[in-house]
Amino acid sequence: MRQYLRWGLAMLSLGAAGIHFAVMSDHFNLTWYHGSFFAATAWLQLAWAVAIVVRPSRRLLLAGIIGNLVVAEIWLVSRTIGIPFGPDSGIAEPVAFADVLCTILEIGIVLGSLALLRPRFLDRPVRSATALPGVAGVGVLVAALATLSLTPAFASGHSHGAAGHSHGATDGAAAAAGHTHTHGTGAAGAQPPAAVAPHPFDPALPIDLSGVPGVSPEQQARAENLLAATVMRLPQWSDPAYDTAHGFFSIGDGVTGVEHYINLDFMADNTILDPDKPESLVFDTRVSPKRLVAAMYMATPGTTLSSVPDIGGPLTQWHIHNNLCFTAQGRVAGLTKADGSCAGNLQKGPLTPMIHVWIDKAHPCGQFAALEGIGGGQILPGETVACDHVHSG
């Protein structure tokens, strides 16, 4: 029975290592020591999983107990009182499914290792026909849950923004955070659903946004010109390393499936809707290497949804983020409470209007949708697409 338990513990350790590997790059975006901690933890858990099967020993079991308890304790501190050092010292982080799952796996390793250290009841013979399916079931369950925890729907709570930036970074994180998007409400925030042109978009073909009711020729021309200019010139920012060298930084939301890079200098100037000076870049992290898929242009500070420039009428839709909470360093750290306020030392970001321009493929809710598939619209004249106005992930 001891052998089968060791195999099961190896499965748990592999699952925890896989989660740590998956979120490692986002933590390197936060600070080098955050990333290094996750990298070291992942490699140690991977090595332990192999060793507990190949060369089990009492020392190895003790190392697994101590190491996983330390990691679990660090997680508990980070989610209750906050890590006492670093860019977000003393600020509790939000709890995410991946975090909880990883901690459960680590506690399972601790309990299983303790059982192996006192193996009286483990000396009983067990039929392989019974034990092997159980071990295989553990492996399948761990793999399935780990994979599920890293999908955008569940990973969005795993929030890590850019570190080392002052309050000015909060504006950028508020504008670039893709975790939750809510259209403004009330007179100032009322926006009609964005419309989808009936002609499928193809970046390799001439752009045609005609056929949308309520769009004037001038509005159509402005929308087509903005889309064409973005398709042509935004690819100069396709390399994240080049972007970083030119003032962009990631807010660390790549685990959601999209990753936003923002540029504080471009946000502070008076230039808008310019692919040579995009306030924010959007990368698809579901592919490797990550691929530039959109610009997210922001209005000048002080602009509201009621005063944004009209680009394409119903074709284009500005939006805001009004339910996100940030640390003083500009990290997305949670959502507002029911009364609209933020917990603890967190603060709401400014309601800077913004608009996406997607360049890589046709989107079901239009090339100016807030996120892929998000934002009201229509696919044929008079036919409305029932797209959500609130998204997470």
pLDDT for 308-345, tens place per residue? 888 888 888 888 877 777 776 666 666 778 888 888 77
Q: What is the pLDDT of residues 167-210, one digit of tens each?
A: 333 343 333 333 333 333 333 333 444 556 666 777 777 888 88
User: What is the sign, positive or negative, of the torsion defined by CA atoms of 338, 339, 342, 344?
Assistant: negative
Cα 370-373-376 angle, rounded to 5 deg:
70
More confident residue, 75 or 161: 75
| Residues making up the chain, counted from first to last | 393
Residue 351: strand, helix, or coil: coil
Q: How far is CA 277 from CA 121, 251, 262, 283, 320, in A?
A: 67, 18, 11, 16, 20
157, pLDDT greater than 70: no
Whole-number Å distance between alpha carbons of 92 and 167: 18
Q: What is the pLDDT of residue 317?
A: 80
Q: What is the pLDDT of residue 330?
A: 62
160, pLDDT greater than 80: no
Q: How far is CA 25 from CA 35, 107, 139, in A?
A: 7, 24, 25
- Which residue is listed with tokens 């030119």? 246
Alpha helices in the chain (DSSP H): 2-30, 32-54, 58-80, 97-117, 128-149, 152-155, 168-176, 186-189, 217-233, 240-245, 264-268
Whole-number Å distance between alpha carbons of 193 and 212: 12
Q: What is the pLDDT of residue 79?
A: 84
Is the peptide bond preceding residue 119 cis, with omega within 30 degrees of 0? Answer: no
Average pLDDT of the segment spanning 339-356? 82
More confident residue, 290 or 383: 290
Q: What is the pLDDT of residue 11?
A: 94
59, pLDDT greater than 90: yes
Q: What is the pLDDT of residues 108-149, one digit of tens each?
A: 999 999 989 886 656 666 666 666 777 788 889 999 998 887
Q: What is the Cα gyration radius of the chain? A: 24
Q: What is the pLDDT of residues 77-115, one digit of tens each?
A: 988 888 887 666 677 777 788 889 999 999 999 999 998
Whole-number Å distance between alpha carbons of 103 and 97: 10
Q: What is the pLDDT of residues 233-292, one digit of tens each?
A: 999 999 999 999 999 988 777 777 888 898 989 988 888 999 999 999 999 988 888 999
More confident residue, 306 or 72: 72
Q: What are the backbone dihedrals phi and psi of residue 379, each rounded to the nearest 5 degrees, phi first?
A: -100, -20
Q: What are the backbone dihedrals phi and psi of residue 312, each rounded to the nearest 5 degrees, phi first?
A: -125, 25
Q: What is the pLDDT of residue 282?
A: 92
- Which residue is listed with tokens 């001891």? 2
Q: What is the pLDDT of residue 393?
A: 32
More confident residue, 334 or 386: 334
Above pLDDT 90, what percent of the chain? 31
More confident residue, 328 or 352: 352
Q: What is the pLDDT of residue 195?
A: 58
